[in-house]
Structure 1
Amino acid sequence: MSTGGGGGRAPLSEINVTPLVDVMLVLLIIFMVAAPMMTSGVQVDLPNADAPPMDIEPEQMMLSIDAQQRVFLGEAEVPMERLEEALRTNARLQEEDEIFVQADHTVPYGFVVRVFTAIRAAGVESVGLVTDPLSAPDQPAAPTP
């Protein structure tokens, strides 16, 4: 009888998944807590409007105009003279062909029109306007006859 060397036993080849599951659950909790903190954007005081709320996904392309008339594509500032080029060369925008525009309510109308002209010149067909429907001002009462 031989007592050494392991005889006819095969090596144990099972993986213990318990530590893997523990690590994955901890990572899931960390990302669930950290995800809302990562959604920072350009601070814009949106105009009030009596409009139904739009569902805007956080991953959708957003163009922002702040009160100092600076233009941001996502969170990256883009000079106005390079806006059309930046829009035309943005692969994600050309693939989705949709952009949402949010502008501070103090931005002059003419500047917003220049931005829309650059968007159209870049070939973007679908443009959405973002407003703040929650704080819509009271509508003036209609005159009574």
Structure 2
Amino acid sequence: MAFGGGLDDDDEVMSEINMTPLVDVMLVLLIIFILTVPVLTHTVNIDLPQANNAPNDVTPQTIALTVTADAAIHWNDEVISGEVLANRLQSVAAVRPQPEIQLRGDKAVAYQHVIAVMAAAQQAGIEKLGFVTEPIPQ
């Protein structure tokens, strides 16, 4: 099966690529792009008003909850009970944007006391709860 003029009766396949269809397709694409680019860049010129708007950087406060070795709960630097903790967490959960709660647990405290504070935060609807640890010295 030979491509070409059909003048020779050889059964060899031509190794040349017919460039005519490729050139035709490229010319059609070029014409399409030439016609559509001015349509895409056409805009209406208007005089927009100028505004000086500084972004509002609202940084929520962070609250440090600490559970000491004797299972006492500290709200920042104030010692509180479990009931007061639940009430404060519910009031903080209603504030938008919510402050981040940073939970610190003494390594000598029983794990259940830290879990109790975490559960109280979850029940109150706190969305941001982080753990504060110290890196291991190298």
TM-score for the superposition, normalised by structure 1: 0.47
Highest RCO, 1 vs 2 (Cα 8 Å, sep ≥ 6):
1
TM-score for the superposition, normalised by structure 2: 0.50
